[in-house]
Structure 1
C-alpha cells in the first residue's frame, strides 16, 4: 500500500492558527498534524507517502526534510495552483507505483481507525475505490445500498442530490465521509481532462459502472481538527 496526505488546503477555518503556518503544521499533543498522519500511515504499512503542498508550501517541505521517516515521503508541489482533491491526486500520479493501492488521508483527521482493516476490506471487495464513512451529523452525505455500494450523494442544507444508481437511491443509507479513502491506480484512467476538480465527482460518475464501496467505520475516535472547536477538543484529549 502507498499513501497520499492531502495537506495543501488553506486552513481558513482555523483563522489565527494558520496566519503564519499551514494547517499541516498546527500542533496537537506536541506534534504537527502532518507528523501524526505520516506516522499513522507508516505504521499501517505504507511503502511510500506523498504529501501535496500549497499554503506555506516551503514550511511543509522543510519539515518533511527535517525528519528521518521510516518510509520515503515525497512532495507534490501545488504552489502555483491549488488543484482540489481530484486534481491533486491526478497531479501526483507520476509519484505512485501502478502496482499498489493508494490510501488517501486528510491531514486534519485524527482517529484510531485500523487502516490495515480498511485495506483488507478494500482488497476483498475488488473495488476501484473504498470510502471510509461513519454515522455523524453533517450537511453532505454519501448514500450506500444494502451491500455498501455507492449509489449517490446529497446535501441536506441545499437539497442538491447526485444519483449514481436511481434504482437503489431512495432508502439508501446516509453516511458522512471521514476524509479517508483507498483507490486503485487504474482510477487515473477515468479522470477528467481538466487539472482542477473534486474526487467526489469522479467517484459518483464511476459508481454508475464500477464497484465503489463504503467502509462503515465505528471506531471510537474520529475528529476533523480543521475546525477550531474540535482542534481545542483534540488538544485536551492529547494533552
Structure 2
C-alpha cells in the first residue's frame, strides 16, 4: 500500500501589497486568474496529488478566505494579531498539521507540467533530507524579478546563491518540522530553518518539470493566463 501524502500548509495570510488596488478589498488568494481564484489553483494541485489534510493560514481579510474555504472543511490557522511570516506561520499551524514531514505551497502562483506536490513526494528521501525545495532556473521563472536563490550541487544539495545566477525557489516544498521547536522567535521566515538545514547538509532541491508564474504583481495575471493557455 502506498503511503498517504503528507499534510499540506497553504500560505494565504499576506497583505498582497504589490497588487496595489486589486487587494484593497480582496485578499490576494481570491484574485481570479483564468476564471478561478488563485487559491483554487493551489487546491486543484493538492487534490490531484491526493493530499487529504490541508491547513491554510489567514490574516488579511481573513473572513473572506474563511468563507471561501468553508465548503471544503479546510482547517484555518488564524494569525489574528499579526502576520507570523512563513516560519512563524508554519510553526503556529503545527497542531493542526500533525505529523512531519509536511508539504507547503504558496497561493500566489500558477503551474503547468508535472504536479509540483507529486514531484516533491516522488523525490523525497527522508534518510538524507530535512527539506526539499522545488526550483526553476531564473530565466524560466515567469513573473520573477531578480537573481536566483540557491546553488544546486551534483547530489541536489543546496547552498545560498549569494547573488549569482541560480535557480529560483517556487514556493513549494516538503520539509521536516522538528527543527521549528528550536527557534524561539514567534515571527520569522523559513529562511532561518533552511540555513540550519544547509549547515547540516540536509537541504535539497529539485527542478520543476513544467512551467511556473508568480502572480505577485498585477501584470502577472495576464502572464499567468497566457502560460496556462499555451499549455492547454
TM-score exceeds 0.5: yes
- Confirm whether residue 199 of structure 1 aligns to residue 190 of structure 2: yes
The list of structure 1 runs, each at least 4 consecutive aligned residues, that deviate by more than 6 angstroms after superposition, is none
Distance 2:173 2:119 in 1: 12
Checking the alignment, whether the CA contact within 8 Å between 1:105 and 1:179 is kept in structure 2 is yes
Post-superposition offset of 1:27? 0.6
Determine helix, strand or coil for the equivalent of 1:206: helix
How does 1:41-80 map onto structure 2 within 5 Å?
41-65=46-70, 67=71, 69=72, 72-80=73-81
Checking the alignment, whether the CA contact within 8 Å between 1:128 and 1:187 is kept in structure 2 is no
Of 3-12 and 115-124, more deviation after overlay is shown by 115-124
Could you report, residue by residue, the CA deviation over 1:82-115 in whole angstroms, capped at 9, with x for unpaired residues? 11111111111111122x5211101011102322
Distance 1:56 1:147 in 2: 42
In the other structure, the counterpart of 1:222 is 212
Checking the alignment, whether the CA contact within 8 Å between 1:109 and 1:222 is kept in structure 2 is yes
Structure 1, gaps ≥5 residues long: 157-172
- Confirm whether residue 104 of structure 1 aligns to residue 104 of structure 2: yes
- Confirm whether residue 142 of structure 1 aligns to residue 150 of structure 2: yes
Of 122-131 and 176-185, more deviation after overlay is shown by 122-131
- Confirm whether residue 185 of structure 1 aligns to residue 177 of structure 2: yes
Q: Structure 1 residues 187 and 210 mapped into 2: Cα distance closer, same or farther (>3 Å)?
A: farther
Distance 1:187 1:64 in 2: 29
Q: Alpha carbon RMSD of aligned pairs, Å?
A: 2.0
Determine helix, strand or coil for the equivalent of 1:131: strand
Determine helix, strand or coil for the equivalent of 1:92: helix
Determine helix, strand or coil for the equivalent of 1:91: helix
In the other structure, the counterpart of 2:3 is none
Determine helix, strand or coil for the equivalent of 1:207: helix
Checking the alignment, whether the CA contact within 8 Å between 2:147 and 2:166 is kept in structure 1 is no
Checking the alignment, whether the CA contact within 8 Å between 1:49 and 1:73 is kept in structure 2 is yes
Structure 2, gaps ≥5 residues long: 1-5, 140-145
Q: Alignment length, in residue pairs? A: 216
In the other structure, the counterpart of 2:143 is none
Distance 1:152 1:64 in 2: 36
- TM superposition score normalised by structure 2: 0.85
Could you report, residue by residue, the CA deviation over 1:17-60 in whole angstroms, capped at 9, with x for unpaired residues? 10101001001122111111112112212121111111101110
Q: Structure 1 residues 35 and 141 mapped into 2: Cα distance closer, same or farther (>3 Å)?
A: same
Distance 2:181 2:41 in 1: 31
- TM superposition score normalised by structure 1: 0.83
In the other structure, the counterpart of 2:91 is 90
Could you report, residue by residue, the CA deviation over 1:98-148 in whole angstroms, capped at 9, with x for unpaired residues? 2x5211101011102322122110136641110111101433421222211
